[in-house]
Structure 1
């Protein structure tokens, strides 16, 4: 493996005081770091999955995606604040500094946390579970997750996301 690069997360979490669910990835891909926004790799299915769940166009710009997230009370962030990584490879991640989720949870209405992929959940369980937090696993939207086609991702994600949002509305 080529050398690892030590990287600090280059952009802030996406959330507002009305956010009800939080979706955490592991760490931004090279493409996302270059574009300074979440899930920027054109083959990542994250935005397509959300569009299918809500039967709505997400838009192609960061501004449109932020408006989409806000309209559906979804917050986005990653489990890792800093790490050593080779390119975009989750399997190469070392020397992790986890993100501090406390301020985000205190400044929003988040009641449910999801992890997009096994690595995100593994890191969440290692660094956040000791703080009493719990997360629900979502199969990765990454193109590296060839076991899940878009329709299968939507089939798994949709009831979990919609149920979490309905729970918040029932309170």
Structure 2
């Protein structure tokens, strides 16, 4: 069994000057921290799902610039609710002593109109720390983690696509 490790800071937020919607994970996995970018585990379904939802080609796993381009082109922002924590491996269920990121300040700075949490852990942290400041409820969407095997890629694309569609821009958020 993995031991607890104190990890932080996490990754900096990815955004342009403005964003219609903010997608929040909980905390970057060891693979994401190693890669230095969001959803860095090859089996995480986030990038194939976001590509399908936006109509973009699926970026190569290592092509961080292509991943950034999808987010920025469509008026999105990506970050995590937690900036540092004690965690066992990549298990959201093991997170303790969470230090939240200042998500409320980012929402205000970017003019975000909608918040989407990638899984329940992100949703809980957002509701506890950011929502009381923003008064902007988050939609908690099914996790794109491979551990969420109950959700097929097609079901993920349908749920995420329906939620994000009103906030996507083909030319970014100007």
Give the TM-score normalised by the residue count of structure 1. Answer: 0.92
Structure 1 residue 36 and structure 2 residue 39: aligned? Answer: no
Q: Note if contact 1:9-1:28 (Cα within 8 Å) is conserved in structure 2.
A: no
Q: Distance in 1 between matches of 2:22 and 2:131?
A: 15
Per-residue deviation, residues 6-62 of structure 1 (Å, max 9, x unmatched): 111332100111211100000000100100000010110000111111221142211
Structure 2 residue corresponding to 1:67, chosen from 69, 80, 102: 69
C-alpha distance in structure 2 between counterparts of 1:104 and 1:129, whole Å: 12
Any idea what SS the aligned residue of 1:126 has?
helix
Listed as ranges, the matches of 1:126-141 within 5 Å are: 126-131=128-133, 132-141=135-144
Query: How many correspondences in the alignment?
Result: 167
Unpaired runs of 5+ in structure 1?
167-171
Q: Secondary structure at the match of 2:168?
A: helix
* Contact 1:16-1:70 at 8 Å conserved across structures: yes
Match of 1:86 in 2: 88
Q: CA offsets per residue over residues 47-90 of structure 1, 9 Å max, x none?
A: 01111112211422111111111100110000001100011010
Cα deviation, 1:79-117, whole Å, max 9, x if unaligned, reads 001100011010110001101023322321311000000
- The aligned runs of 1:1-171 (5 Å cut-off) are 1-60=1-60, 61-131=63-133, 132-165=135-168
Q: 1:68 to 1:58 in 2, by over 3 A?
A: farther
Equivalent-residue separation in structure 2 for 1:84 and 1:138 (angstroms): 24
Aligned partner of residue 107 in structure 1, secondary structure: helix
**What TM-score, normalized to structure 2?**
0.90
RMSD: 1.6
> How many Å separate the matches in 1 of 2:88 and 2:12?
22
Runs of 4+ residues over 3 Å off in structure 1: none
- The 3 A distance-change label for structure 1 pair 98 and 91 is same
